[in-house]
Amino acid sequence: MDKNLPQIFDYQSKKIRTTMVDGEPWFVAADVCKILGLQTSRAVHGSGRTSTEGLYDDEKGVLEEHTCSRNQKMLIVSEPGLYHLIFKSVKPEAREFQKWVYSELLPTIRKTGAYITDRADPVVLREKADENEKLSDVNILAQMLLPIYAAAGMKPEFQLMAAKQFYKKANIDIPIEGITVEKQLFDTEYIAKAVGIYSASSNGEHPHPQAVYSILQQIDIMPDEKELVPYTRHGHSGTTYQYTIAVIDKVRKWLVENNYPTKIQVATSKRAYGVVYKTDRGLTA
C-alpha cells in the first residue's frame, strides 16, 4: 500500500496522527485509543481468547516511519476501523470525539490531504468531490437525526444500525458485527402473518400490517415490549416501532375477545379495515 508521512491534528490538546493510504485517510491507532479509553492492541487485534473482538484485517495495518535515529512501526486503522473503535468505547467523551471526527477532522483531511497532486486526473478529482459532497450531506443528516432518535428513546444499538443506513448512502460501511440486541423484535407485517390477519381486498393474498397497528392502539403495551428501530424499505428510510413476542400473544387475545372481527376500526378515524383470517386450514371469513 502507498503510505505518506503522518499529518498531525490536535483534539483537545491531544494529537491525532493521520496518513493517506492509497488515497484514503488512515489513523494512528494508539492516538485514537488513548482518547477513547481503549487498550490499543486489544481493541485492534482482539483478546488472546477471541480475535473476533478486534477489527477486520482490511481495517488495520502498520505504518513504518523512518527517522534519522530509528525506524518506528505504528498500528493504523482505516476510516471504517476508526468508526469501529468509536463504537467500542464506553466513555461519555466518545460521542464528542465522534462529532469532531465527522464535522472537522474528516472534512479537513479530504480538502487538504491526498486528492490533489501534480498528476491529478480531473475526472477522478470530480468523482472524489462528488463523494465528499455526499459524505458531507450524510454527516449533516446523522448529526441532525441521531440526537433526535436518542431523545425519542432509541437505544444505542439501534442508533448504530441507523448510522449504518445513513453512511451506506455514501458507500461507507460501518461494521456492526458483535453488536447484540437484547430481545427478539417483530414488525407489524410479521405480526399480521403470525396471527393470520390478511387483507380482504386482496382475497387473503397480502398480510394486513395496518390492521395490526390499529389493534395495537387498542391494547396495553408495556414500555419494555416495544422498541424504536430504524428501517429501510423500498428505497425509503425512517424509524418504526417493533414489538416483542408478548405483544403477538396480546394481539391473539384481542382477536379472541372480539370474535375475530372482519372489520377492524382505524383508531384515528371512522374508517375500518376489511380483513380475513388465514389458518393452517386456509382462509376464514
| Residues 14-33, mean pLDDT to the nearest whole number | 88
Least confident of 4-8, 21-25, 93-97: 4-8
Determine, yes or no, domain membership for 217.
Answer: yes
C-alpha cell recorded at residue 255 = 382477536
Give residue 215's pLDDT: 94
Domain identity same for 151 and 246: no
Please give the residue that has the higher pLDDT: either 120 or 234.
Answer: 234
Domain identity same for 160 and 216: no
Question: For the segment 196-224, what is each residue's pLDDT rounded down to a tens digit?
Answer: 999 999 888 999 999 999 999 999 999 88
DSSP 103: I
Enumerate residues 6+ apart whose C-beta is below 8 A from 34: 14, 40
Give residue 35's pLDDT: 93
Residue 211 lies in domain: 188-284
Determine, yes or no, domain membership for 178.
Answer: no
Domain identity same for 27 and 108: yes
Question: For the segment 123-179, what is each residue's pLDDT rounded down to a tens digit?
Answer: 454 555 455 546 666 677 677 777 776 776 777 777 777 777 766 766 777 666 655
Determine, yes or no, domain membership for 74.
Answer: yes
168, 199, 214 - which closes a domain: 168
Determine, yes or no, domain membership for 2.
Answer: no
Determine, yes or no, domain membership for 183.
Answer: no
* Strands of the chain, DSSP E: 7-11, 14-21, 24-28, 60-66, 71-77, 197-199, 226-233, 236-243, 263-265, 272-279, 282-284
Q: What is the Cα–Cα distance from 136 to 183, expressed in whole angstroms?
A: 34
* Domain count for the chain: 2
Instruction: At 196, give phi and psi (nearest 5°).
Output: 85, 25
pTM greater than 0.75: no
Domain identity same for 161 and 84: yes
Domain identity same for 223 and 257: yes
Q: Is 273 helix (H, G, I), strand (E, B) or coil?
A: strand
Give residue 25's pLDDT: 87
